[in-house]
Amino acid sequence: DQQVKQNSPSLSVQEGRISILNCDYTNSMFDYFLWYKKYPAEGPTFLISISSIKDKNEDGRFTVFLNKSAKHLSLHIVPSQPGDSAVYFCAASGDSNYQLIWGAGTKLIIKP
Amino acid sequence: EAGVVQSPRYKIIEKKQPVAFWCNPISGHNTLYWYLQNLGQGPELLIRYENEEAVDDSQLPKDRFSAERLKGVDSTLKIQPAELGDSAVYLCASSLTRNEQFFGPGTRLTVL
């Protein structure tokens, strides 16, 4: 039973355009959501997070939107750059628990 | 600030052999995690330590896997004996707060 789902295994976007990565979750107890970025042969690196008390968090080119009623969050990257090509993981935690539940990841490819 | 250090980066062993992975977390991070990551999937938690105490090892296959975190700093994860299905990337992470985990580069294990 996947509690965090990233339904797009891969996404290809033109450089300079907007990249939108999606994530759905099923557990209503999740109250904190994170996005991680992973390059090959490296561990995931933290990108941006959002608490369930918010519906938007922005950090430079990266914005995360949370729709609690739909149990859906998305990561927007504007403008997309070649260095953004990586695998992006969505993760969630809840109930003051340190455990992160991870999605399967979406491979983002930025085309020049 | 030094990141999470893991060694070895790569390990190839034959099935039924033992193997050990080492992790040095970020200085001052009390919480340490060991994850397993299969290709095309997100990380799956094996064990979480708070200082030297294993507070969540519910996902650790205790018949063959063991871990320790002596003195609440470095940690070692061991598999004995290894099976073909254990081939994966083993990630170590540490955190200061609940929210953001910092990952090492991982150890890629291949069991032949």
CA-wise closest residue to B52 among B34, B36, B75, B35: B75
Buried b (16+ CB within 10 A) or exposed e, B2-13: eebebeeeebeb
Rounded to an integer, what distance in angstroms lies between the CA atom of residue B78 and that of residue A86? 30
Q: Indicate yes or no: CB of A49 within 8 angstroms of CB of B100.
A: yes
Name which residue leads in pLDDT, A96 or A72.
A72
pLDDT of residue A95: 67
Q: Indicate yes or no: CB of A46 within 8 angstroms of CB of B101.
A: yes
Q: Which chain A residues are within 8 Å of B100, Cβ to Cβ?
A: 34, 46, 49
Token digits for B59?
A: 């996902």
Contacts of residue A105, Cβ cutoff 8 Å, sequence gap at least 6? A6, A9, A38, A87, A88, A89, B40, B41, B42
Q: Which chain A residues are within 8 Å of B44, Cβ to Cβ?
A: 102
CA-wise closest residue to A75 among A48, A102, A38, A46: A48
pLDDT of residue B96: 87
Q: What is the pLDDT of residues A32-90, one digit of tens each?
A: 999 999 999 899 999 999 999 999 999 999 999 999 999 999 999 999 999 999 999 99
Rounded to an integer, what distance in angstroms lies between the CA atom of residue B53 and that of residue B67? 11
Out of A9, A100, A105, closest to residue B101 by CB: A100
Question: pLDDT under 50 in chain B at which residues?
Answer: none
pLDDT of residue B97: 76
CA-wise closest residue to A110 among A81, A89, A77, A74: A81
Q: Min CA distance, A97 vs chain B (Å)?
A: 7
pLDDT of residue B12: 97
Half-sphere exposure of A56 (CA within 13 A, CB side): 4
Q: Indicate yes or no: CB of B42 within 8 angstroms of CB of A32.
A: no
Residue A1 has pLDDT above 90, yes or no: no
> Mean pLDDT throughout A26-31?
92
pLDDT of residue A97: 62
For chain B, say whether A65 makes contact (Cβ under 8 Å). no
Q: Min CA distance, B96 vs chain A (Å)?
A: 11
- B37 burial level (CB within 10 Å; 0-12, 13-18, 19+): buried
pLDDT of residue A96: 61
Out of B44, B95, B104, closest to residue A43 by CB: B104
Indicate the helix (H) or strand (E) that contains A20.
strand A19-25
For chain B, say whether A94 makes contact (Cβ under 8 Å). no
Token digits for B98?
A: 């609940």
Using CA atoms, how far residue A16 sits from A83, A110, B36, B83, in Å, is 12, 9, 35, 46
